[in-house]
Amino acid sequence: MASLLIWALKTAGYVVPRRFVEGALMSRVAGLVTAALLASLVIAQALGNNGTITVDARVPAVGVAAILLYFKAPFMVVLLAAGVVAAGLRFLGLMV
């Protein structure tokens, strides 16, 4: 149901805009909203834990991901490295 709702919302986004969305302001806002949302999602996913802030194996994993992104590593390499770091630290009992 929720997926269908989003699909409708997205399609509406295609039909409505044209004249409404045109211009520098909307493109400025759209770009910055995307950056803000993604930054927020990084934090929520890396530190959030049922309404608390928790520092665990996700933090070093995201740190490694950031270093790899800085050196322009491909998307899949970044994701795999993050998974390996977090899973490895947990497997070794070094972090929860």
Residue 56's CB: how many other CB atoms inside 10 A? 15
43 touches other proteins by CB under 8 A: yes
Q: Which residues between 3 and 22 bind other proteins (CB under 8 A)? A: 3-7, 9-11, 13-14, 16-18, 21-22
Q: Taking a C-beta distance cutoff of 8 angstroms, is the pair 86, 57 a contact?
A: yes
Q: CA torsion sign, 50 to 55 to 56 to 60?
A: positive
66 touches other proteins by CB under 8 A: yes
36 touches other proteins by CB under 8 A: yes
Q: Taking a C-beta distance cutoff of 8 angstroms, is the pair 2, 22 a contact?
A: no
Site residues, other proteins (CB under 8 A): 2-7, 9-11, 13-14, 16-18, 21-22, 24-48, 50-53, 57-58, 61-62, 65-66, 69, 74-76, 78-79, 81-88, 90
